[in-house]
Structure 1
Amino acid sequence: MDYGLLNLGSIVLGLTAIALPLVYLAGRGDAIRRRWPVWTVGSLMCCMVALCLQPFYTNHLIEIEDWGALLDTTWGVAYYSAGLVGVVIFLNLVSAGMRFLENKAQEQE
C-alpha cells in the first residue's frame, strides 16, 4: 500500500470539508439552500475522515521506525488538525446562522 495516499486523501478531504460550507454560502439557488443539512453533514464527515487518516500514517511511520519523519511531521499534523477543525466548525456555524436568518425572514413574510 502506498501510505503517501493517506496524506493526500487527508488533504483532499480537508479541503472538501472547507469547500462544502463555502459552496452553500455562495449558492443562490433553492436547490442548494434546501439541502443545508446535506452540506453541513458532508462537511463534518469529510473533516472526520481527514482526521482519521492521520493516525494510520503515523502508525506506518512507527512501524517502519522512521523516527526522523515522525519527529518532523507530528507538529504539522497537530496544527493542521486543529486548524481544520476550527475552520470547519466556524464555517458550518456561519452557514447555520445564515440558514436560521433565512428561515426567520421567511416566517415574517
Structure 2
Amino acid sequence: MMDYVWLNIGSFVLGIIAWTTPLLSLTSDKKKRNKKWVRMSFISFSACSISLCFQIFYIYHKVVIEDWWALIDTMYAVAIASATLLVVTIILNAITLNASRGITTD
C-alpha cells in the first residue's frame, strides 16, 4: 500500500519539472535559448505527461482496492490539479516558443 504513495510524490515532482524547464529556458542566454527551446519543451511536456499518467495509475490502484471513499473525496481536486498542470505547462511552453522565435542567431 505504501508503494502507491510514491506515485503521488513522483507526480508532484514531475509537475514541478514540467513548469520549471520552460522557466529555466526563458532565463537562459538569448542565443542558447534559441537552440535549447525544443529540447526543454520536450522535457517539459514529457514530465507533464508522465505526471498525469502517475495520477491515472494511482486512481486505478484505488479502484482495484475498492477504496471508493478516497476516490469520492479526492477526484475533484485531482481533476482540477491535472487540468491546471496541463494548461500552465502549455502556456509556459508557448511563452518560451514565442520568446525563442523572436531571437535571431548571428
Aligned 8 A contact 1:27 1:33 in 2: no
In structure 1, the residue matched to 2:90 is 89
In structure 2, the residue matched to 1:15 is 16
- Aligned letter for 2:40? W
Q: Note the alpha carbon deviations across 1:13-58, whole angstroms, 9 max, x for none.
A: 0110000000001112644542211101000000000011111101
**Unmatched runs of 5 consecutive residues or more in structure 2:** none
Name which structure has the greater RCO, CA cutoff 8 Å, separation 6+.
2
Moved over 6 A (4+): none
- Aligned letter for 2:24? V
Q: What is the TM-score with the length of structure 1 in the denominator? A: 0.88
Identity value in percent: 38
- Aligned letter for 2:37? W
3-state SS in 1 of match to 2:47 = helix
- 1:80 and 2:89 equivalent? no
- Aligned letter for 1:58? I
Distance across 2 between alignment mates of 1:62 and 1:100: 45
Q: What is the TM-score with the length of structure 2 in the denominator? A: 0.91
3-state SS in 1 of match to 2:66 = coil
The aligned length equals 105
**Unmatched runs of 5 consecutive residues or more in structure 1:** none
RMSD: 1.6
Larger of the two Rg values belongs to structure: 1
3-state SS in 1 of match to 2:29 = coil
In structure 2, the residue matched to 1:45 is 46
In structure 1, the residue matched to 2:67 is 66
